[in-house]
Amino acid sequence: MNGKTWNILGNYLRGRLRCAEFALTNACIAKCTFCNIWKQQPKIFVDREKTLNAIDRLADFGVSHVTLTGGEPLLHPRIIDFVARATKRRLNNAVLVAAPQLLLRGEMPRRLEDAGCDLISVSFDSGDPATMAASRQIPNIMAEMARAIAAVKQTCLKTMASVLIWNENHDKLEDVCREAEEMGFDFISLNYPTFSQSDVYELGGEGINLSREKVVAAMEDAIRLIQAKKYPIINSPLSLRNIINYLKNPATAQYPCFGGTRVLFVDWFFDVHPCMQLPQVLGSILTMRESELARPACNACNMSWYRDFSMLHGGLRAIPALCEALGGNRGLIGAGGKAAGRRRG
């Protein structure tokens, strides 16, 4: 195990393990039908020195994995500096990409590799080029994605197709997974449709206005695909069943969400939120104390990554989730740790 993996395990054993998403900018090339961030004005790019300080503070708080997101994080001119600082602090790190053509500029995959990036996560909504181009409003996006993934494969970086369950794929998940695997992605993650209450991170729209019955059916299909081991889907079947229970009857969800305690969202104003969906601000990452990262467990929505990771923090109830994470390339320990293991930590 390398330094990043030891950091994850050490923080977990000390009861301090946290994960975070850090949005570096609200600028974005994509104009997605289920996100309004690209419409926001003015465009904001986080300050370099403040961001390096914020990454240090996240590490000091026990954050062991950070996803750099946006908007479009690759539009930030200092993205390599931020990845390098996360690596220096032994943070497993991923960069989320909506516009794959950005990976084809300026030897970006090699620069990310040299900075210690562990995972490139690329939005992948459909295996149909026309549907992808329409959903993201980026012409030729599939052709550019194929070129980008081929370029990334010339490095040690791992790639993940980030698949949102929405109107155009909820009943075609196997087709989407097949296309993602044929494209060359190492992992596939499924994200559950949700509407945001936040004015900063605006999610919603007709594209994800699915009935609960359709979302449940999609998740049951996902469980079958995972159990068949046909595709490298990292979602936890245990977490999927927990969300299915939540959607059928919120009171029957066995595992609550620890957003704001174990999982954090930091926006481009450096404000810390329990998650991307909620408007509540816990404080500024630049000034707050670790003791302020405490709030009651939540059962208000079905937001994927936050609830998935929270399952590792439920006392004795966490044991099945932890065994699943350690045993089958699932989630943070599987996808992130495996990617990190091929490079210097």
Q: What is the CATH number of the domain that holds 246?
A: 3.20.20.70
Provide the pLDDT for residue 335.
43
**Does 161 map to a domain?**
yes
Predicted confidence band at 337 (pLDDT cuts at 50, 70, 90)?
Answer: very low
The C-alpha atoms of residue 282 and residue 9 are separated, in whole angstroms, by 26
Express as a percent the part of the chain with pLDDT over 90: 76
Express as a percent the part of the chain with pLDDT over 70: 94
Predicted confidence band at 262 (pLDDT cuts at 50, 70, 90)?
Answer: very high
pLDDT of 338 higher than 90 = no
Predicted confidence band at 199 (pLDDT cuts at 50, 70, 90)?
Answer: confident
Q: What is the pLDDT of residues 296-328, one digit of tens each?
A: 999 988 888 899 999 988 787 888 887 877 665
Provide the pLDDT for residue 73.
98
Provide the pLDDT for residue 161.
98
**Does 17 map to a domain?**
yes
Predicted confidence band at 197 (pLDDT cuts at 50, 70, 90)?
Answer: confident
- The model's pTM: 0.92
Q: Which amino acid is at 26?
A: N
**Does 317 map to a domain?**
yes
| Phi, psi dihedral angles at 130 (to 5 degrees) | -65, -40
Please state the domain count of the chain: 1
**Does 123 map to a domain?**
yes
pLDDT of 345 higher than 50 = no
**Does 293 map to a domain?**
yes
Q: What is the pLDDT of residues 54-71, one digit of tens each?
A: 999 999 999 999 999 999
Helix (H) or strand (E) holding 58: helix 48-60
- Angle ∠(27,332,316) on CA atoms, nearest 5: 130
Considering only CA atoms, which of 17, 1, 3, 19 is closest in space to residue 89?
3
The C-alpha atoms of residue 343 and residue 322 are separated, in whole angstroms, by 25
Q: What is the pLDDT of residues 213-252, one digit of tens each?
A: 999 999 999 999 999 999 999 999 999 999 999 999 999 9
pLDDT of 339 higher than 60 = no
**Does 345 map to a domain?**
no
**Does 159 map to a domain?**
yes
**Does 118 map to a domain?**
yes
Q: Across residues 119-130, what is the average pLDDT?
A: 94
Structural tokens at position 30: 């994509």
Alpha-carbon dihedral angle through residues 70, 74, 80, 84, given to the nearest 10 degrees: 40
Helix (H) or strand (E) holding 231: none
Q: How many CB atoms lie within 10 A of CB 283?
A: 14
Find the domain containing 225 and state its range.
3-340
